[in-house]
Structure formats: structure tokens, C-alpha cells
Structure 1
Amino acid sequence: MTDSKHHFIPYGRQSIDDEDIQAVVDVLKSDYLTTGPAVDNFEKKVANYVGVKYAVAFSNGTAALHSACFAADIGVGDEVITTPMTFVASANCILYQGAKPVFADIDPQTYNIDPNKIKEKITDRTKAIIPVDFTGQPVKLDEIIKIAEEFNLVVIEDAAHAIGATYKESRVGSIADMTMFSFHPVKHITTGEGGIITTNNKDLYEKLTQFRTHGITRDKSLLKENHGPWYYEMQFLGYNYRMTDIQAALGASQIDKLDKFIERRRNIVDQYNKGFSNMNEVINPYQETDGNSSWHLYVIKLNKDLLSIDRKHFFEELRQASIGVNVHYIPVHLQPYYQELGYKKGDYPYAEELYEQIITLPLFPAMTDEDVEYVIDTVKNIAIKPR
């Protein structure tokens, strides 16, 4: 039975314990509050976790993506291919550099960008590809990297949803030229706001580090002049995109729990999959055989041919039952700003059709089995209720 008195279940929520709180308190009592030893420690932990040489932390995931576009020398006149089925930041970071986002439609089965569609969109102006691991499901990285090598393109993987995911036995974050993870509170681990870029490329690492600090360096080997120990140079126009030690201390404490969080997410997904397995009204999300998703989101697709209720009313009834459902995402090219830039409805039919049919159900480690059963029962009752 649905029960409007049930406690509210958000679609995502951070899991913070006393250990995390103590880590932040320790920094508050220390000499450093902004970028200091805690940021360095967090970067090393993330780099070790995904298996790369370098990680550079930023104030948020969008700042990290923008910095990656800068490091890849993306600029005016360039084109960068990404998916329309993502949060606006995946495309906005291209605009920040004066370049043009070019969307490639999704694979209707996986909901991820379709490598074949990427190939169709390449021109002599294409500089990079920003594939997005939608919901935590890794994109077909081997196919995308092969295309990138063929056309000499940079791959910036937007893995905001996918820390802890694996692709063909390798950790996401260790495969693309640069990979971005986000630490917003609904993600797997949080720093409040925050993002990071992982890479094995030293040149990219140095550019990223300098870009997040106004384009300033104190590295003696990079200075054009040297007036003394106080001397620094601003060598290009960077931004203040630094992470604080307060945020990094929280992140470093959280990453120790990441595998446990992901295990719980996968348990919940198994429960959902089982719960909806005998229903034709609801289509479970696709599970990639090559990649092991870290399950940031659980997105169901409504079979509109079998339902006597539309998505809007389905969504509203779930909300009325205290289930904080959401929709991920409104395709980027449908946003008013992008429409003004000339992108049109009808350009990416698979993304648009998917958007009309999806609802994101709650998924976070602190959900109880009872919460999950309540969501399953409520979805079933709404789907089969005679109108």
C-alpha cells in the first residue's frame, strides 16, 4: 500500500558519520583552511584509488571540466562532441572556452552517447570528445578512444556519476586522457561541493594546477624571471577554482568508505531489479556487460503503451507518497539558452524520446530495505491502478 505518511525519501543523499565530522573539525583547528596539506592528501588518495599518477582537486565538478577543456587547448573555433543526455555542465564547459558543443545522440539501449554517432559528427574543427557515464554506467571507452586516436582528439571523460565504476577490469578515471569526478552531496562521496580531474599526463597535470590558481605559478623551473623567494608569475588567465582543506578533509574521510557505499548501492539496485522484473509497465535500466556501474542513479523507463497514466502524473503521485523522485535529464539542447544558440527540438530523437519516459528513483546508501520495498510497492500500485 502507498502511504502518504511515510517519511520522505529523497532521490539522493550524503552519508556523513562522526569520523567525517571529526576530519573536518581537525582541519578547522589546524593552520590551513584553504588549499593546503589536506587537498594534497585527498588528491593522492583519489589518484591511488583509480590508479593514476595525478589528480587535481577543484571547487566543483563544473570548474574541473572547464579546467580540463583549458588544459586540452580547446578554444575559439574548435568543436567538442558530447551527449545531450546530461547535466548542462558537460556542454557549458565547452562554451566557457569559446568553442562549440556538438551533440551526438545516445544509444537507446544504454542511454550513453553512441560511438557511431560520434564518428558522424567529426569535422576538421573537432578537438575533443566529452563522453558522459550516465547514471554511473561507463561509456564504451575502447570504441571512443579508438575514434579519438584515429582523429587525434582528446578524451575528457565526464565521470561525475561513475567514481568506483570499472570498465573491462580498469577503474574509470584511469582510461581517458582526463577524467572528471564530482563530489556534490548526491554523488557517491561528497566534499560539499567539489570536483577532481585524474590524468597520467604530466603536462596536463601542470596546466590544471596552474589554471585553478589564477594562472599563477611559483615553480622556479617555469618562471620567466626570478626577483627572489617571494616571486610568482601569472602566465595566463586562470581562475580561482581551488578546493579548500575543509572540503578535502571530508573527501579523504569519505573515500575510505566508497567501496562500502557502492556495494550498498548495488544491493539496492538488485532489489529494484527483482521488484520490477515481472512488470512490463516499467523498464529497468540497462546493465553493461563490459562495465560495472557504480550506480549513481536508478532510472526507470515507463512503457507508455501499457500505462493509463502519463509521466507527469506518475511523478506527482510518487511525490505525494513521499518519494523524492526526479528526472535526469532534460536534454541540454532543449534548454532556452541552447535554443537561442540554434540547437533545435528534433535534432536528437533518441535523447528526446528517452527524456519523455524516464523517472529517477531514490538510491543512496542509507536507504533501508524497507524504504526500497516501499518505493517498489508504490511504483507498482501507481502503474497498475485502474483509472
Structure 2
Amino acid sequence: MRITRVEPIVVGTPWRNLTYVLVHTDEGLTGVGETRMLGHTDALLGYLKEAEVNHILGSDPFAAEDLVRRMKYGDYGRAGEIVMSGIACVETACWDIKGKALGVPVWQLLGGKVTDRVKAYANGWYTTERTPDDYAAAAREVVARGYRALKIDPFGSGHFELSHAETLYSVSLIEAVRDAIGPDVELMLEMHGRFSPSTAVRLAAEMAPFRPAWIEEPVPPENLKALRKVAGKVDAPIATGERIHDRIEFRELFETQAADVIQPDLGHIGGIGETRKLAATAETHYMLVAPHNVGGPVLTAASLQVGFCTPNFKILEHFNDFADAQIKDVVKGAPQVVDGHFALSDAPGLGVELDLDAAAEFPQQQARFDLWADGWEKRAPKSTGP
């Protein structure tokens, strides 16, 4: 079996473009992969066009390990977000092809299941007015849908510092959410790499009474010494890793023990195989894995293949019940959250299929997501004016 064509299809929303990649073979089997780009979609498409000629065409989809090696190192330049995202799409599609050819789910090819279900946590649910009452109402809706975990960034457009008034307001938002969901629901606290170490430590102390399940990316991700400084002064678990795009670059994070939960994005770190290897290394450092997942149903399905066979897999992020939930319609067999969990699927491959007609209803957009702008949490279309 050989790869004959790579077909990218972009599904657009105002704040994120989802790039689906169909990998076609000479035996009629087609696999699908996915990644989510913020502002770099055209760059990704350009890379895939070149990589198709230079590396992909004629490759054996069963030999994904060799294909990843050639795509990652065969152009000599150091692979970053765009290259690793392109690799992820193609590599994931190869696993999908292999599973379909053998009639088994991908998790079976990765070593077999260790669980029958994976816990989900909701994100993208607070696209409402930034008030305690509105956040509480939205949080109650999340719990009413069966979720037993949810995540929130309550800090507005804070950057490095947060004023006393804004700190008090952020605390009021979290207090309202915790009161709304009760003591038993996990509440993840997102900081989006906003703060200096001292500010992150101060805010973590302010939030401690509300028992956050973790503090996520408290400082910008480039400086692991700053993260270690925070970790040494904060009692809550520290989570990070969504903006690391090569599993080798996790080495220093493991060595410093500066995090308790790692959050690789399967769509940015090279795909299923790379994520599975990273999870195994994390296990040797007694760290949990909770992938960053701001993609659509294919990326969710791919992340679940890893989740079902990984002993230290904690939980999976899920946007697609809340922010632009209609994009679930572009995929047949989209994973669903029931009673707060994703159930094991025995369907071959990833267990999903891209619906080309439905995807055509969501053309690529000039997606924009600015975490430093007021109202970013609404994920609404941006004005084109000055």
C-alpha cells in the first residue's frame, strides 16, 4: 500500500481554523488527521504541499515511524509548530488507515486498552458576559450536561501583573463558579502563561480556597526555571505543555519536575505515536497526561486512542459541546461525552469519517484569537476596523 495524495480541507470558525487532512492510498483506503491553527493555517497548507512532494507521496502508511522521521529531519531545519502540526495530521491519518486495513481500533495497535472510558472536562463554555451570575449559570449548564470537570481562565486580559481590583473580580468569578458546581466537580484554573512568577503565586494563593484541580501554564512557557519557582511555592498541581511542539523538548521539564500534569497537543506534537512515547516517558517521572485539545472531532478521537491505552492518562479537554458546537456535524461518528466520560469505541481506525458536504458549509476564515484583548473569552468574530 502506498500514499497517492494528501488532501487538506479547512473548516473555519471566527476564532479557529480546523485543518483536516485526508491521506489517500492506491488501495482505496483513506485516513484522516486534524490540527487546529491560530493564524498559521496558510503556512501549514504551504508546508503540506511541499512535504507531499518531498516526503509523503509513495510512502507506506504502515511505516508511519519512518515517515515521521523523514518529515521531521529530512529538511534539515529545526521543526517547529507548523512542521510538527503537518506531521501530526499525516501521521494520524496513517494510523487511521492501518486500523481500517486491519479492522481494529487504533488503541488496539498501541498496546490495548487499560480503561473502558476517559474522563472529559469542558472548555469554551464561558462565552458569555464576564459576570459572576452569568458564569455561574453557564457552569451549572455544564454540570447539567453530565460533566464532572471544567476549566476556566477568569483573569480577563491580564498580562504579567493583575491589579488589586481585577484580582478581587477574578476571585468573585471563581467563587460563583465553585458555588454553582458544588464541591465534587473538578475545577481547572487556566492562566494561559499570562503572569510573572510572583503574580502567579499570589493568584494561586487567592484561588486556593476553591480547590483548583490544577493551575495551568502560570508563566510563559519558554522559561522552565520560572515555572519551577512557581511550582515550589504553590500547593495545587501544575499543568503545562500545550506550546511545546517536540517531545524531546519536554526533557528539561521532566528533569526539573516543575509540573505534575503534562498537556501535549497531539495535533501539534507530531501525532499519535509521538504522544504515546511522551506519555510513557511521563509515566517514568510519575506525571499525568491530560492532552490539550482545542480541535474538532477527529483530533478528539485521535487523543482518545492514546487515552484508552495509557495508564497515566488523566482526562481529556473538550470544546465541541460549547464553543461553535456545530462543527461536530462535519464528522460522522464524532465522540460524545456521556455522564462526563468518553466511552471506548471498537470502530476500526479512529472510528470517525469526515463529511465533505458538511465541511463545505464552514469555509476557511481569517480566524483571530487574541488572549490579550478585552472580551477574548467570548470567541466572537473580530471587527475588521481599526
TM-score class, shorter-chain normalisation, is: 0.3 to 0.5
TM score, norm. by length of structure 2: 0.34
TM score, norm. by length of structure 1: 0.34
